[in-house]
Structure 1
Amino acid sequence: MTVLFGTVEYFQNEILNFLKRNRIAKVSKEQVVDIYSTLKHELLNDFVCTEKVQIECLQNLMIANNRFLEENSEIFSKEVS
């Protein structure tokens, strides 16, 4: 299956790939926020596109980040305990 650049699925894969590349087995909420910030920075500063595409990518990145946090919420709630 091909995942198109800029889609929610693309950014979900990017988050997972970042964790794998950096061999992060036990992920924290702060690490997810850092990954989100890194990807957002790349979109805003390194990716050349129209403003419309940039806004759509940023929205999809936010959705992907929120989904990742929701899907792993039980892991993050254990951090606080």
Structure 2
Amino acid sequence: MIGTVVIAGIVGYLSEKTQFTHNGYLPSIIICIGGAFLFYFVRIMFGFGFGSPGMNAIVSSIGALIVVPTHWRK
């Protein structure tokens, strides 16, 4: 659980650093952590995953950044 939060935070930071998103550092980190938590609980409840927990955290964080459309706002 703690590793998921750390990996999601790193993905959120790197997405802003590389200008993949333009939300701001804190909103991107919050979006990534929320997506990672959601997918973590889905994995626990239904057993669905992409392999290792680290890969699940990375994929779910990137997916949350893509799904949440804050980077299209001006």
Task: Quickly name the TM-score band, shorter chain normalised.
Answer: 0.3 to 0.5
Bigger relative contact order (CA 8 A; separation at least 6): 1
TM-score normalized by structure 2?
0.37
Q: TM-score scaled by structure 1?
A: 0.35
